[in-house]
Each structure stands twice: as C-alpha cells, then as structure tokens.
A and B are shown apart, each in its own frame.
Chain A
Amino acid sequence: MNVLKFIRYYLMTNLIGKPYLKRQRKIGERKIEKITGENSPLNPPLKITAYTKEFVSSHYFKGRYIEGVKPVAWVTSGAPIEILKALGFFLIYPENHAALCGARRVQMDLIKTAQKQGLSQNVCSYVRTDIGSLLSGKTPAGKLPKPDLLVACSNICQTVLHWYRMLQEYLNIPLVIIDTPFVYRDIEPHQVDYVKKQLKNVLLPIAERAAGKSLKEKDLKEVIKFSKDATELWLEILNLCAKRPSPLTVFDQFVFMAPIVEMRGDRETVDFYNTMYKEVKFRVNSGIGAIKKEKRRLLWDNLPIWFKMRELALKLAEKGINIPISTYTYAWGELAPLMDLNKDEFEVMARVYLSPILNRGAGHKLKTMADMVKRFNLDGVILHSDRSCKPYSMGQMDQRNKLIEEFSIPAMLLEADQNDENAYSEEQTVIRIESFFEMLGVSNG
C-alpha cells in the first residue's frame, strides 16, 4: 500500500466525500418530499431511497482514490467475489457501471465511441457502453480505478468472456476466467468439481499474488456470511411484494438491487438491507403500496430498459399497474438458501455460482415465472425481449405461450434493449403497451 495514496484516499473519502454525499442525501430527501404530490400515481418512495444513492455513490467515490490503497478487480456480476473480498480487493462491476450510464442517459455517446473504434452494433450494449467509457475516459462515476485483476465468470453469458478478453487487451493485466458449464437440467458432480477446482487452483493463487497476501479462512467465512445475510434480506424484501398492494415496483427494485450486486459481501450492505426490510415491512403492515391505486399486477422478465425506467414506471402506474416482481431482481435473492455456512466454502461457492437463473435452461426459467405468477398473484407478464441479452431473451416466445396457456393471462413480448436507444422505438412500445392495457382490462381513457 502506498502511504501517500492512503492518506489522500482517507482525506478525500472521509473529509470530502462523506460530508458531500450526506449533503446530497439531505437535498435528495427534500426533493422526494416534493416529487410525489396529489397528481402523481405513485406514493412517496421509501425514505431509504436517498440513502441508497449515497451508499452506492460512496462506493464509486472511494473508487476514485483507491488505486495504490487496495488491490482492484473488475468483475462480472455473477463472479465468485467472496474470495476477492476476503483478500481485500476493491471491486468494480463494468456491467453495473454500464447500467448506471444507461440510467443516467449518458450511454449513447459512449456507445458511439466504441462503434467508431470498430465494435459492431450487434455486440451487447453494455459492452459498447463500457468500452466506450474506457476509451473516452468518460463516466458519470467520476473516475473508475484501474484494475489489477480481471475476473469473468461465464454463468451469466458467454459475451462476458469476449468482453473481458477485450478489457485484457486494452489494460494488459491478468484475466481469470471462471468457466461455469451451462446447466440444462440438474447440476452434475463433475460440473461442481470443475468450478471448485477453478476457484481453488486458478482464481485463488492469482488473486493472492495480486493482493500480496494469503487468504485467511476466517475472512472468507465472514464475507460469505455477509453475502448470505444480505442475499436473504433481499429475498425477504422481494417476497414482501407478494402482498397487496405491493410496497415496491420493479422499477424501485432495479434501483435498490445495486448494493446486492456491487457491494455483496460487505457488512454495510447487510445493514442497508436490514434498514430497508424494516421500512418495507412497515409499509406492508400499513397497507401502503408503491402506487396509489393498484388494479393489476405483472411480472417483468429480463433486464430493465435502463433509459426508460421513470417513463415506464409512470405510464404503468397511471393505469393502476404495478410490477411487484421480476426474474432479474429475484435472481439476486433466490440463491440465498444454497449458501450453507456449514459446508466447505469452495463447494458452496461452486454450487451457488452454477445456479443463477441465466445459467439454467429455459424450462427452469419458465417454472420460476410460473411460480411467481402464483405466489405474487399476477395478472399478466411483460417479457422484455432484450436485443443485447440473448441468454435471457431466447426461449421467451415459448415461455410467453406457455404462461398464457397455463394461467390464461395476457403476456406481452416487448422488443427493446437494456442500453441501446437505437434498438428502442417509442411509438411501437406505446402502441404495444396500450394494447396490453386493453387486454388487462384497464382502459386507455
């Protein structure tokens, strides 16, 4: 660790960053009080909303000054980060950063930059956003720390392998690939063994070398416990949305999921979700829904359309439509039961990281969706056919048909993209949504 850099890090994060972000939170809280008035179809957001922004922003703020203080790794969202956290790594998730760019609507310039350098428009828009940011140096997060290590886990898609190969090409640093075989049916012993060996024999030695220290078992156990606790809390929060009216919309969940994705394994993340759980529980007990008049409840399948979140949230809420759950947000909670603290940590991590919904067959996702329709009392389904996410989108047509068949509910395929506005048509989307409203029995008038 570089002492001067540590001093700068400490001063910037504690003397400047913390007070600044706290002040921003107060401003945010006052804004929230004004936003939702009589005319809004939305009830006031959770009090923790402003703190969420502070919490996530503080992570990125620390990232600006972390080089030379802690080892840095850029990782995929499904990467087995517990080993890295236990070794003291500071983590950046390029996918989350790309999503942040989309939500802040700064992604299109970054996408153009990447495409100008020859990256095809048929490549995932997260990748184009991320590479565009890397090449231009532009980011709404201020500055991303240069990594010492790249870790890509194939349990969300094969795209990440190629993406991280590109990052390796640009950054010239070690890349560890954790290859998780796709699970068409059930997880098999040789698959668990394969992932376990990669964690122990590939990731661990390289990460220890990069961190300059050996992994302590007690540190790993602690991080896994924090991961488990936070994941369980997130799951409980989502399950509360089965109540009528749902205390959250999926658009709220897309924002609140940030800590579980990018700060999993931290004690503070557990505290965050604890606080959030209490507030959500209070709303459930008081009958306060996320929207004022909940008439219909839907399931959202796939990633969000990051650049259209607010508009979609309002448009649906105006018709009394709430989306209490999505396969995407639930994916960050449903693995909690697999995190058995009494078993060998590497075996547990191997099973957990083989199990995400994106690493399972289309039939498994259909079962998950069917279960959600029943448990959350849903009246319909929106399947976002995300052009950039083939693993999520393939199979949706059959899934839609099966859901309609089994539950006699309307299910709509909405063609768009998570980040690329060129793959989104406002008019087409409006027409489709309005037809969907008719099918749901909520008038357009």
Chain B
Amino acid sequence: MLKVQGRIETIQKFKAKGGKIIGVAPYHYPKAIFRAFNILPVEIWGPPKLNTLESKAHIQTYICSVVHSILTYHLKKNLDICDMFLIPHTCDSLQGLGSIFLDFVKPKQKVFTFYTPRGRRSVDIDFITKEIEKIYNMLSELTGQKPSYKELKKHIEIEEKANLVLKKLLDQRLYLDIDDYKFYSLIRTKEYLPAEEFIEIAKDIYLMYKKDSKIEKTPVIISGLLAEPMEIFKVINQKNGIVAGDDLAITGRRLYPPSEGNNPFNRLAKSIINSPPDPSRGDSVDFRVKRLLEIAKKTNAKGVIFYIVTFCEQEYFYIPHIRKRLRENGIKSILIDTDINQELSQQAITRLEVFMETLQ
C-alpha cells in the first residue's frame, strides 16, 4: 500500500516551514485563497468514533454526529493546533455551530464563516464572488499580506489540477484494482494534504493500481455526506461489490470544474457554483437524479446506497423522490442511517449484504 503522511505530521511539517493551519468544517469553501496566504486548510469531518459527551453540554442530541464530533474535538482541545477556523454555512446545524463558536465557545483562534448561495443563478455567482473577496480581505488584515492576482491564480490552478486528478480517479474507479477501504483512505488525504502533495499521491494510485480492463465486481454508487463508518466498504467488497460511483459531499460532490477569468474571486466563484448537484445548495430532484443516472450509466451500477448521517435533514428530504425515480429507471437503492461515532450495526450490515446479493 502507498504510504501517506497523516494529518498531524502534515500539519507539523507545514507549520515548521512557517505556514499556518485553518481547521475547516464541512464543506464548500475557496481552498486556493487560503493557500495563497500560506495557510493550509485541514478539514474536520469528525473525527469518527468519538465519545461526544462534551458537545452535549452545548447542543442537543438531535443534531448530527458530525457536528457533535467537531464541537467535542474542539472542547477537548484537540483543535488547538489550528491557527484559525472556517465554518462554512452548509446547513442549519453548521449554522448553529458557527454561531456557538462565535458567540459562546469563543476559541482564541479567529473564526471565519462563509456562505454558499442556494442557487446557480448569475446573482449567486456575484454574491459568492464578493463573499470570497471578503475572505481575502479578512486574511489580508489578519496576516498583513496581500497576495497578487498572479499568486492567487497559481494556487487556483493547482487546486483545479488536484480536483481533476481526483475526478480522474473516481471516473476510472472500475480500472483501479484496490479495495474501497484503501482507496477512500487514500483519496481522503485531499482533506488535509497540500494540493501539490495530493496530486502526487493520486498519480501513484493511478500508476500502481491501474488495470487494462475493468474490475469484475458488482458496481454500486454511494450517496450521502461521507462514508463513515468506513466499515461499509468492507461489507460491499466482501460481497464482491465495488463503489464505482461517488455522490458523497466529501468527495464526488466537490469535483469543482476548472473555470476561467481574470478576476480570481469570480473564477473561484464560478467553479464552486458549477459543482455537481448537492442538497446543501438546494438543488432540484431532477438535477440530482440526472447525475445519479449518468454515473449509473458510466459505471453500469445497478444500485445506489444512500448512506445518511442520522439527523441530516438535507439528505433525507430528497430520498423518497430520488429512490422512486431510480426505481423507474431500473436502479435499486437502499437507505442506511449512520452515526459516525458508532460502529456499523449488524442490522445495517445484514441489510447491505442482502442488497448486494440482489444486485448480482
């Protein structure tokens, strides 16, 4: 297996070279802007399997486990290694988390927020352009630096390249002879590695595991926020399945297409706005179903696993309609509720196993 650098090691190395770290909650944000200021975004999607006693003093049990984990991790001082935080406005729960950070918990580090518009209209592009510029100005004030447009462009291009290599890996998944657990462990390093280092990892994955013909396994698509607990991959692989299609917020929904333009903020804005369909952006059922059917057609997947973190309303809403439309197109689906801090239940495992059998 490829050896990759862990989070702490990456952070320590980056800081040793004079860089700073920003802890980033899920999930859309203009990564390149931070890199231009020599700030490395390290995403916080948990961590999983955490005892979230501390967060329950601040937020109710009906808030999702991802938010509970982030808050607990901070309260346990595990995020003290970060120099600042960014809490994008992704949903009502992350909205609340941002508010709690700013008004109650009040870490000593600076807390940024970032609002992604709920639309793909020209007014939305204009707004997010200004929102990105606002982040730039705030970072300028904080650091005393003012990276030029040329500098910004350099970082935008490298992030675009990192997105493209990830896209290539996901598109070519059926030709990569590596099990899903290892595959996702590797590609999720994009959450913390500098883009240039991730690109090298991606190249190595491609070279090491690329086969000339498709892997003969039952392809499925996975949809949701993130694939935690990751044991799901073992269950799928044990039933001779492979996750051939990715509709996860953590990976596949953030394949930002490259963009153009002289204004770097506008270029980043267009890239984010034109990302794949996503419930956090309020995208329509139609748009989402079309994408899933496209992925199914490319990969020959006959099934979709909706792997939904319990209490994640924005995922739940669309499930009945999407499942109905998939069924009409001959695609089976299953809904598995998860808690990132719990083991995958035996009930869920059994249901998944049966589901995989029905696809074969």
Partner-B contacts on A (CB < 8 A)? 117-120, 122-124, 127, 154, 157-159, 161-163, 165-166, 168-169, 177, 179, 181-182, 184-185, 188, 190-191, 193-194, 197-198, 201-202, 361-363, 366, 385, 387, 390-391, 393-398, 402, 415
Closest to A194 in B: B127
B285 beta carbon closer than 8 Å to chain A:
yes
Shortest C-beta distance, B142 to chain A (Å), equals 16
- Bound Cα distance A168, B318 (Å): 12
> Which one, B89, B126, B314, contacts A162 given CB within 8 A?
B314
Contacts of A193 in B (CB 8 A): 127, 130
Given A162-B318, A361-B102, A391-B96, are A179 and B285 also a contact pair (CB < 8 Å)? no
Complex contacts, A362 vs chain B, CB 8 Å: 96, 99-100, 103-104
Is there contact, CB below 8 Å, between B92 and A197?
Answer: no
How close is B61's CB to chain A, nearest CB, in angstroms? 9
The reply to whether B282 and A118 contact each other, CB–CB distance below 8 Å, is no
A397 to B100, CA, bound (A): 10
Output the least CB separation between B237 and chain A (Å).
28
- Residues of B within 8 Å of A191, CB to CB, are 127
| CB closest residue in chain A, given B319 | A118
**B15 beta carbon closer than 8 Å to chain A:** no
Q: How far apart sit A177 and B100, CA to CA, in the bound complex (Å)?
A: 27
Interface residues of B (CB under 8 A from A): 57-60, 62-63, 89, 91-93, 95-100, 102-104, 113, 115, 117-119, 121, 123-124, 126-127, 130-131, 134, 279-280, 282, 284-285, 310-311, 313-314, 316-321, 323
Pairwise interchain contact A162-B313, C-beta atoms closer than 8 A: yes
Contact A120 to B319, CB < 8 A, known contacts A190-B127, A394-B60: yes
Which residues from chain B contact A188 at a C-beta distance below 8 Å?
134
User: Do residues A182 and B59 form an inter-chain contact, with CB atoms below 8 A?
Assistant: no
Contacts of B93 in A (CB 8 A): 390, 394
| Contact A391 B60, CB 8 Å, known A181-B115, A184-B113, A362-B104 | no
- Cross-chain contact A395 with B282 (CB below 8 angstroms): no
In the complex the two chains form, what is the Cα distance from A22 to B41 in whole Å? 65
Q: Once the chains bind, are B57 and A397 in contact (CB under 8 Å)?
A: yes
Contact, CB under 8 Å: A169 / B321: yes
A394 to B115, alpha carbons, bound, how many Å?
Answer: 18
| Minimum CB–CB distance for B136 against chain A, Å | 13
Give the residue name and chain of the A residue nearest to B56 (CB): A397
Chain B residues near A397 (CB-CB < 8 A): 57-60
B103 touches A363 (CB 8 A): yes
**30 contacting pairs across A/B (C-beta < 8 A):** A118-B320, A119-B316, A122-B62, A123-B313, A124-B313, A158-B118, A159-B92, A162-B279, A166-B321, A177-B119, A179-B282, A182-B89, A184-B102, A184-B113, A190-B130, A190-B134, A191-B127, A194-B117, A197-B126, A201-B123, A361-B98, A362-B100, A363-B99, A385-B60, A387-B62, A390-B62, A390-B92, A390-B313, A395-B99, A395-B103
What is the chain B residue whose CB lies nearest that of A161? B282
> Nearest CB to that of A114 among chain B residues?
B320
Cβ-defined contact, B100 with A395, below 8 A: yes
Once the chains bind, are B96 and A165 in contact (CB under 8 Å)? no
Tell me the smallest distance from the CB of A290 to a CB of chain B, in Å: 31
A363: which B residues are within 8 A, CB to CB?
99, 102-104
Since A118-B319, A181-B131, A395-B100 are in contact, a sample of 13 more A-B pairs with Cβ atoms closer than 8 Å, ordered by chain A residue number, is A122-B316, A158-B92, A162-B282, A177-B282, A179-B124, A181-B127, A190-B134, A193-B127, A197-B123, A363-B102, A394-B96, A395-B104, A397-B59
Residues in chain A near residue B91, CB distance under 8 A = 158
Tell me whether B103 and A361 are in contact (CB under 8 A).
yes
Q: Which residue of A lies closest to B59 (CB)?
A: A394
A124 to B60 CA separation, bound complex (whole angstroms)? 15
* Contact, CB under 8 Å: A119 / B58: no
The answer for the CA separation of A119 and B319 in the assembled complex, in Å, is: 8
**For the complex, what is the distance from the CA of A190 to the CA of B316, rounded to whole Å?**
32
| CB pair A391 B92 closer than 8 Å | yes
In the bound complex, how far is the Cα of B124 from the Cα of A201, in angstroms? Answer: 12
Residues of B within 8 A of A181 (CB): 89, 115, 117, 127, 131
